[in-house]
Amino acid sequence: MPGGEVRLVVRHVTRKATGWLLMIVVATNVTYLLASFFLDPRSNFKDLRPVRSEAQIDRALAPYNLDPRVPLVDRWWDWLTSVVLHFDWGRSPTGVSVNGEIGYRSLVSAELVVLSLVFSVLAGVALGVYTASRQYGWSDRVSQAVSVVVFNVPTSVAALAVVFVAIWLNQHAGLHFLYVAGENAPGVQGLLPTVGDRLLHLILPTLTLTLMGYVGYHLTQRSLLLDTINADFVRTAQATGLTRSQAIRRHALRTALIPTATSVAFSVPAVFTGAIVTETIFGWSGMGSYFIQTISKNDVHGTVATAAFAAALTAIGAILADVATVFLDPRVRVS
């Protein structure tokens, strides 16, 4: 790409990013109001013993800018200034820093989701390509049927099925490395054992997420490729002396991969937002379980920060997808 074009892309991205930023700001503030309305931090203290008075509870919440006696507008303003000036997203009703939690948990989620994303894309695209070139063959029909079923199974059912099988294997085949809960085992020492231990804990949740994730890539890649496989230019390529499979590989596939690459670019940032149901079932404390925790523990600031984080990553994904299209597809480049 010549320099002028890069400048155009940069300008385009900047303009888009500004629009996104505006939307994120609005979305975040709306979420703040909704969360303040729907979540009641005081209820966290209701069941504590010894029983505390209303005033005691409010006083306990005051340092975290959650005191319900302070007008909502003032609380909102304080929260906003601290976010804008110090990038401090506040604290939970028990005083835990939201910034710290998100920083740690997003990495946990990433650890969980990155591998499965890679596997999903590889498996899904490979399967899509394999079956598209054998349309209506038995391998196509079988994998299509499997994918349609898997695609429509709720994550909870699939994940628990994986857990069930793993436990059965552990009991009957004497395996002991399929861990059904947690990110790591307590008390493991040393670098290599720690890495090994974490990897073993990754097996089942990664398997689940891959299972849930590959299907979309399989079905879309298959239909994308089927749409291009009969394109005139594939026939032209064959006419120059390529076999059908060479022509499909070199011409149809390259073209059909562009939308997939775009959608992968879109979903890469989303790895940090984690997988809610899977994290819950496998007991990982990533962003997904943080999401549940903040809502059920009436953590206004945590909830808002989670929303802002997710919205920001969506925006980054969309911009990445745009840029990917520009770089991969000569047709949308400005000439």
Partner 1 sequence: MTADMTADASYGAASDRTPQPSRSVRTAGRQHDVARFYVRRFVRNRLAVAGAVIFLLLVVFSATGDAFTSYAYSDTDFAALTQPPSAVHWFGTNQGGNDIYASAVHGLRRSLTIAVSVSVLTLAVAAVVGSSAAYFGGRAEKATLAVIHFLLVVPSFLILALVSNRLAGDWRVLIVVLTVFGWMSTARIIWSVSTSLRERDFVAAAEFMGVSPLRIVVRHIIPNLGSLLIVNLTLGVVTTVLSETALSFIGFGVQTPDVSLGTMLADGASTITSAPWLFAFPAGLVVLLTVSMALIGDGLRDALDPLSSTGAGGRR
Partner 2 sequence: MSPGAALSAETHAKETAAPVLSVRDLRISFPSEAGTVEAVRGISFDLLPGRTLGIVGESGSGKSATAMGIMGLLPPSATAGGSVLLGGRDLVGMDDRALSRVRGRSIGMVFQDPLSSLTPIFSVGRLLSDALRVHQDLTRQAAWERAVELLDLVGIPAPRERAGAFPHEFSGGMRQRVVIAMAIANRPSVLVADEPTTALDVTVQAQILDVLRLAQRETGAGLVLITHDLGVVAGHADDVAVMYAGRFVERAGVDELFHRPTMPYTARLLAAVPTVDGGTPRPLVPIGGEPPVLVDLPAGCPFAARCAVAVDACADTEPELRSVPGHGEVACLRAEAVAEGLLDPSGPDAPDAPAPAPAPAPGTGPTRVGEVVLRVEDLVKTFPVTKGGLLKRRVGTVHAVNGVGFELRAGETLGLVGESGSGKTTTLLEILRLSRPEGGRIEIAGVDVGAQDAAERVRGLRRDVQIVMQDPLGALDPRLTVRRLLAEPLQAVGQDRTSILGRVEELLALVGLDSAVGDRFPAALSGGQRQRVAIARALATEPKLLALDEPLSALDVSVQAGVINLLARLKRELSLAYLVVSHDLGVVRHVSDRVAVMYLGRIVESGTTESVFSDPRHPYTRALLSAIPLPDPRRERTRERVVLEGEQPSATRPPTGCVFVDRCPLYRVADDGTRRRCLTHRPEQVRVTERPDHQYACHLA
Question: Under the rule (CB under 8 A), what is the footprint of partner 2?
Answer: 8-9, 12, 230-246, 250-251, 254-255, 258, 322, 325-326, 328-335
Under the binding rule (CB under 8 A), the answer on residue 295 touching partner 1 is yes
Write out the H or E segment, with its range, that includes residue 99.
Answer: helix 98-132
Mention every residue, 6+ apart, whose C-beta is less than 8 A from residue 167.
178, 180
Mention every residue, 6+ apart, whose C-beta is less than 8 A from residue 206.
112, 115, 116, 119
Rounded Cα distance between 261 and 122, Å, is 11
From candidates 108, 277, 316, 328, binder to partner 1 by CB under 8 A: 277
Under the binding rule (CB under 8 A), the answer on residue 269 touching partner 1 is no
Rounded Cα distance between 292 and 101, Å, is 13
From candidates 90, 93, 205, 274, binder to partner 1 by CB under 8 A: 274
Residue 304 near residue 89 (C-beta atoms within 8 A): yes
User: Rg of the chain's alpha carbons, rounded to an integer?
Assistant: 25
Nearest CB to partner 1, comparing residues 83 and 275: 275
Distance of closest approach, residue 150 Cβ to partner 2, in angstroms: 29
Under the binding rule (CB under 8 A), the answer on residue 226 touching partner 1 is yes
Rounded Cα distance between 83 and 29, Å, is 11
Nearest CB to partner 2, comparing residues 222 and 251: 251
Residues that bind partner 1 (CB under 8 A): 20, 23-24, 26-27, 30-31, 34-35, 38-39, 135-136, 141, 144-145, 147-149, 151-157, 160-161, 163-164, 167, 216, 218-224, 226, 259, 263, 266-267, 270, 273-277, 280-281, 287-288, 291-292, 295-296, 303, 306-307, 310-311, 314-315
